[in-house]
Structure formats: C-alpha cells, structure tokens
Amino acid sequence: MNVTERVIVVTGAGSGIGRSITTALLDAGHHVVLTGRTRDALDQTAYGHDHALVVPADVSSPKSVHSVFAAVAERFGRLDVLVNNAGTFGPSGAVDEIEPQDWDRTVATNLTGVFLCSREAVRMMKTQTPRGGRIINNGSLSAHTPRPASVAYTATKHAVSGLTKSIALDGRDHDICCTQIDIGNADTAMTAGIGHAARQADGSVRAEPTFDPRYVADAVTRLVELPLDVTVPTMTIMASRMPFVGRG
C-alpha cells in the first residue's frame, strides 16, 4: 500500500453526507471500509471503486461494531482514520413530548455509536506500528444552538462535542487526533424539508438555503490527508445565508 493511502472507516456510508465523503475518499485513492445498516445502499456507494470494502453493521451494537474493526485488522492490519458519520434526527418535540424509547434510539445511534466505534479505533491506533490515527466526528450546528423541537438530537450532538474533546485529550500522547466537523444545511434527504419550510425560533416558518455536500467531502478529505502532527479540533461548514449566527 502506498504511504499516501489511508485505511479509513466511514459509518453511515450508504447515503447522504456519508456517501459523499466515502466517494471523495475513494476517488482520492484511499482504502475505505463502508459500514451502515443496509448492504444495498453501501454497495451502491462502493460501486466501481476497487478500494472499497463493504461491512454492514449497526453502530449501536458493540458486537456488530467489533466485527467491522476485526475485518479492518484482518484485511489491512491497521486503521488510519475513522469518520463517525452515522446519525439520525430522531423524534421531533420538546422534552415533555418525547417517548423514552425514541430518546433511547437517538442516543444509541448518535452518541453510543460514536463511542463504540471510537473505542475500537483507539484500541487499534494505540497498538499499531506506526501508531496513531485520526478520528473525525460529524457533529452539527445543533451541537452549539438547537432548532425548535429537537431536544433528543440536540442533546446527543452536545454530548458528541464532549466526547470529541475527551478523545482528543486522551489520544494526544498516542498520536491520535480528533476533530468535530459541524455541518449546517448540507443538501441531503435528511434535510430535504429545510429547503422548503423550516420552523424558526420565533415561531415563523421559512425556507433555508442549503449547500452541496461535496464541499463537506472535500473538507473531510483535506483533514484525512493532514500529518498527525497537525490537528483541527473543530470545523464549521454551512450554507452561508442560513440563519445560524444569531439563531434564537
């Protein structure tokens, strides 16, 4: 394997931002392990790319997550980058309107999934030669400021911020870098309604601008290719005219 090629795991690689990131990394010549719940969607992302390895998994399951990283170790013998992208918006509602089981499902995917994947990745990165690696967590502008009726999603994304900082701190002595990329209004199926009508903090409803997720993919590719003596703790990328600054 060429020294400029990275071995990368991308979660949620079957659609949306995950598909854009994966395609960009494969086009750049990296080896990408695609994971997510739906094999057909993963196969569609991987189609035509020789450096793709599809390993379906549920990021909320410790056993399932372990199987992904076991496959990485068997195939490549190392891991350079983990992109924790899998996520769900979860239920819409205020705190008194959310059912506990819906809360639990959102936490399982958005937070526990990041923990489980990072746990496996860090274990590999600490012991491989050369040691170290990079973890990139997909946060959100909701890690800073919530949208109305998004309590479950917002809480998990705030928690990802703390997890990112802790991984960065604890990984420092092991040459492990950790970045959170906060994305606002990338044009995907998950955000399709925002371009037509989005509820605002003042109670009004109006369309918000979106942007092509390939720019997120470009940013992630740049991060992936940085040397490990350089880190970017946080990055925000968003549609420039969306109502974020001053939101609320």
DSSP annotation of 129 reads S
240 phi, psi to nearest 5 deg: -65, -25
Nearest to 206 by CA among 193, 216, 218: 193
| Catalytic position from the list 153, 154, 171, 194 | 153
* Catalytic status, residue 215: no
- Rounded to 5°, angle at Cα 224 from 171 and 194: 105
Contact between residue 113 and residue 60 where contact means Cβ atoms under 8 Å apart? yes
DSSP per position, 103-120: HHHHHIIIIIHHHHHHHH
Tokens of 222: 């740049």
The residues carrying an active-site annotation are: 153
